[in-house]
Structure 1
Amino acid sequence: MIHFVVHEEGDSVGTVVVVDGVKAGASLSGWVMEQDKIVEMRTGSDIPVGHKIALKDLNVGDTVFKYGVDIGKVVSPIKAGEHLHVHNVKTKRW
């Protein structure tokens, strides 16, 4: 079962695709689409469907990449497997 998808290697995040979301502590399988490979990780928090999961530890000021594109900066430390959303990432646009 695929729990999250990642567009390409080098992205900082994947997107949860399980309708019920994922629960903290669960073992997850992710599909890296561009390279057509599977990655495994454990989630550190509950994450709803459509929300992002951090694929690596991210520190304050780090840039977040999705689809190979800069989607924002980290404003609160995020560990691999944790929920990544507006509470810990902000846009650089304003």
Structure 2
Amino acid sequence: MVTIPHLLVHEHKDNVGVVVVEGLTAGTRMLGVVTHDNSSFELEAKADVPIGHKVALADIRSGDTAIKYGEDIGKFVADVEKGGHVHVHNLKTKRW
């Protein structure tokens, strides 16, 4: 059983979480922790994801809003599968 978190999520309504370990590889069974209440969950990484980058917590469609910290942080510009890497290639700010 995994005991060190791989992924942090701030609120239950978030649809992305942040990788907090170096060298996360596709196929890793990640331990995720929701910091709001210290609850946990497991999720399989579908890609190699660098530390500090985001992972989709559910299947996401292009045009959907990204939610982190319980807030809108941008718009998905490509589909992302649950456990997939979320970064500038599939997520853009709504500011510009």
Which band: TM-score by shorter chain?
Answer: over 0.9
1:29 is paired with a residue of what secondary structure?
Answer: strand
Give the alignment of 1:1-94 within 5 angstroms.
Answer: 1-18=4-21, 20-94=22-96
Q: After the TM superposition, which parts of structure 1 deviate over 6 Å for at least 4 consecutive aligned residues?
A: none
Contact map agreement 1:9 1:35 (CA 8 A) in 2: no
TM-score between both structures, scaled by the size of structure 1: 0.96
Contact map agreement 1:52 1:84 (CA 8 A) in 2: yes
TM-score between both structures, scaled by the size of structure 2: 0.94
Q: What whole-Å deviation, never above 9, does each CA across 1:27-75 have from its counterpart, x for those lacking one?
A: 0001101021011010000000000011011101000000011000010
What root-mean-square deviation, in Å, do the aligned CA atoms of Structure 1 and Structure 2 show?
0.7
Instruction: Give the CA deviation at 1:21.
Output: 3.2
Partners of 2:75 and 2:23 in 1: how far apart?
Answer: 24
Partners of 1:21 and 1:70 in 2: how far apart?
Answer: 28
Q: How many residues in Structure 1 have an aligned counterpart in Structure 2?
A: 93
Partners of 2:23 and 2:66 in 1: how far apart?
Answer: 21
